[in-house]
Amino acid sequence: MDVGTLLNPQIDTGQIEGNFIQGVGLFTMEELIRGDKKFNKWIPSGQLYTCGVDTYKIPSFSDVPIDFRVSLLSNSLNPRAIYSSKGIGEPSILLAASAFVALKQACQVYREQQSLSGYFTLHSPATVERLRMACVDEFTRRVCPDEYETVLSRGSY
């Protein structure tokens, strides 16, 4: 990753690892659930239920890859910044979009094995519930007969 002049490689590496895991949470776990009259009647209409980390799942130590390699591009100058450095926060969070894309591609392969080809929608975050419903089979058809229908969470936890 290009971080400009390396001021402290250990801190930069830790920032990239931490931000990547934060992004994994963003793209695979941290789901917004709001009250509505159809699905979440127990939450006042329009009110955000998942407004803190005590109401939704966040990544934990077991979600960190065992083999996590970070490499930093050296001698990348940025003459317009302090000490020729660059910010590393947002780019490393967006690296986690690769996890979301990999999960969607895995669903696509499964769907093709089930003779379902073509486009399908998988909303972010790719929660376990959404991934299960995207992999259409005899059980998911009982819940959602149309294999192209998008199933959004109703607060399953």
Q: What is the average pLDDT score of the chain?
A: 82
Report the pLDDT value the prediction gives residue 156, as an integer from 0 to 100.
46
**pLDDT tens-digit readout, 123-142:** 899 998 889 888 888 888 88
- 90 as an active site residue: the answer is yes
- Domains along the chain with CATH numbers: 9-143 (3.30.365.10)
Average pLDDT over residues 70-94: 74
pLDDT the model gives residue 80: 72
The catalytic residue among 90, 129, 147, 149 is 90
pLDDT score for 89: 66
Q: What is the 3-state secondary structure (H, E, C) of 59-98?
A: CCHHHCCCCCCCCCECCCCCCCCHHHECCCHHHHHHCCHH
Q: What is the pLDDT of residues 8-59, one digit of tens each?
A: 888 888 888 999 999 999 999 988 888 888 777 888 888 888 888 788 888 9
73: pLDDT confidence band, cut at 50, 70 and 90? confident
Residue 148: pLDDT band (50, 70, 90) is low
d(CA 132, CA 107): 9
